[in-house]
A = this chain, B = another copy of it.
Amino acid sequence: MNDDPTRPSGTALSRRKLLGLAGAATGGLVVGGVVGTTVARADTNDDSNTGTPDRSGDVVAFHGTHQAGIATAAQDRLLFASFDITSNRRSDVEELLRSWTEASVRLTAGAPVGPGAGLVAPPTDTGEAVGLSPARLTLTFGFGPSLFVDPSNGDRFGLARRRPAALVDIPPFARDELEPAVSGGDICVQACGDDPQVLFHAIRNLTRIGRGTVVLRWSQEGFGRTSSTTSKQTTPRNLMGFKDGTANIRAGSSTFDRDVWVASDDDPSWMRNGSYLVARRIRILIETWDRSSLDDQQLTIGRQRTSGAALGAKDEFDAVDLRAHGADGTLAIPADAHIRVANQDANKIHILRRGYNFTDGVDARTGQLDAGLFFLACQRDPRRQFIPLQARLAKQDALNEYIKHVGSAIFAIPPGVKTRDGYIGEGLFA
């Protein structure tokens, strides 16, 4: 990232929020320079955003048919932010989305969020990503049910009739212990990338641009595979010590295209090529899990811990045989094993899981580690996918003894921005 905040430079951005924020104290913007070049790099449009970084290896294109950060190969780190809208004016929300789109084009290209503002104004960009790589940053935006109908404020934006039928309120499930402080939100931004400082920088600057229109409601950091120290080929492990994601659907497959993206004949039309994201903060009861035997752990999951193979199978990617029996005549994969209850083929339900492990220190109430899985899943219609699947898991999954769902949110992820003057969610506001 290149930046000299004392010298304005950059492409001819709309100056709305950016200069409002910077005080508009300095002179005109000049086109070109290093920043312009960098931004242009991201405009080498990867129309599908299937996760292949561009030539430079550390930029994922922002523009495309779909938003990046879904089919994109999972990056190492997550910073997920959920915002509440504090304005009651529809035009403020629309303007925010325009400003966030412009900022995102720059941020994902590794450029500062806006041009310099001179000495006498606050810097447009907060500066902590100067010198850092774009780190495969993706910024994925979504709309919560409360954007359309606010529980306390009704149809404040005149969007109620445009709410997608698939954007239901997540129903309560058995065993839910949800905390409102880490649930819900009007708008989400999922920041993924390989450097936590780049993610912090992005969310901080988007929050700053949104001041007066949105406030941060909650956020969640997460970690997964670390590219620099992990072999890329292996399935990452969750904090239970088991490989997680062996049976996940893969970008580019027909299942993915059918079950993740909103189809061309789905309604509403503004959601086509979008998706629906469900987030669940799932705390692992680490101490309880750690006291159970390896046998119990393996029977709970339905897989062998070390190899990742399904019980009764030999290798991680061997087909899962739900009918296999052990020598003693019992089912190799017990009736309540996680991979049986969650089995996507048997359930004919497929979702894209794209979650991250998290640890948030010590739970002051219990003195235990607050750690687990920040589950993120994308799908075409949560009414047919996440909701029936989770209803089943909440009732039958042996894993429930060791986990607790404490946060929950759902967002409609609109399609990608295809043109340079487009913006995230433009179809909704058109």
Contacts and interface: CB of A to CB of B under 8 A. Distances in A.
Per assembly, the copies of the chain total: 2
B306 A58 contact: no
Contacts of A360: 360-361
Contacts of A228: 76, 194-195, 226-228
Contact of A294 (B118, B196, B198): B118
A425 interface: no
A260 interface: no
A227 to B, nearest CB: 5
Interface in A277-330: 286, 290-295, 297-298, 305-306
B223 A196 contact: yes
A207 B224 CA distance: 22
Given A194-B229, A218-B362, A128 B240 contact: yes
Interface stretch (A2-10, A90-98, A331-339): A2-10
A130 interface: yes
A157 interface: no
The dominant DSSP class at the A interface is loop
Interface of A: 3-6, 58, 76, 79, 117-123, 125-133, 135, 181, 194-198, 200, 204, 207-208, 215-221, 223-224, 226-231, 234, 237-242, 286, 290-295, 297-298, 305-306, 357, 359-362, 364, 367-369, 371
Closest 7 pairs (CB-CB, A-B):
A127-B241, A228-B228, A133-B229, A195-B226, A119-B295, A196-B223, A135-B229
19 contacts: A6-B294, A76-B228, A120-B293, A120-B295, A121-B293, A122-B292, A122-B294, A123-B305, A127-B305, A130-B241, A130-B306, A135-B229, A194-B228, A200-B239, A204-B371, A218-B361, A219-B361, A221-B359, A360-B360
Given A195-B230, A221-B221, 20 more contacts: A5-B305, A6-B306, A120-B293, A123-B294, A123-B297, A127-B240, A128-B239, A131-B231, A132-B226, A133-B229, A181-B364, A196-B359, A197-B223, A197-B224, A197-B237, A200-B357, A200-B371, A216-B369, A218-B361, A360-B361
